[in-house]
Amino acid sequence: GAVVSQHPSWVICKSGTSVKIECRSLDFQATTMFWYRQFPKQSLMLMATSNEGSKATYEQGVEKDKFLINHASLTLSTLTVTSAHPEDSSFYICSARVGRGVDEKLFFGSGTQLSVL
């Protein structure tokens, strides 16, 4: 399958600081990437859809000014958690869409555990 690289895998930051998470498609070009959040023992919650060269589309209830998404190239999307607070502590996972229609599949990065102190 396609390889999606996510970095860092673990980050600890102080409250009020910003954290950037990178998501790269290593062996393919991804015009569309997705960012998810996952709380312990829960399923994935879609935060936003990242489209190369255009603004991200955020799901209802997700603050776009707090979770800044940039998809400046066909292989890189970044999520920046601005002015992080302890309640932002979570597991963040990116994914990239490969193929279209019947052949469309979603491949995931390895995730980033964010802990805000």
Interface residues toward another protein, by CB under 8 A: 1, 4, 6, 34, 41-44, 46, 49, 91, 93, 95, 101-102, 104-111, 113
Contact yes or no for 13/84 (Cβ under 8 A): yes
CB of 67 to another protein, least distance (A): 17
Contact residues for 41 (Cβ-Cβ < 8 A; gap 6+): none
Cα distance between residue 82 and residue 71, in whole Å: 17
**Whose Cβ is closer to another protein: residue 18's or residue 110's?**
110
CB of 115 to another protein, least distance (A): 12
CB of 16 to another protein, least distance (A): 25
Look at residues 105, 90, 107 and name the one whose alpha carbon lies nearest to residue 41: 90
Neighbours of 14 (CB within 10 A): 8
**Whose Cβ is closer to another protein: residue 5's or residue 82's?**
5
Cα distance between residue 46 and residue 38, in whole Å: 9
CB of 106 to another protein, least distance (A): 6
**Whose Cβ is closer to another protein: residue 55's or residue 83's?**
55
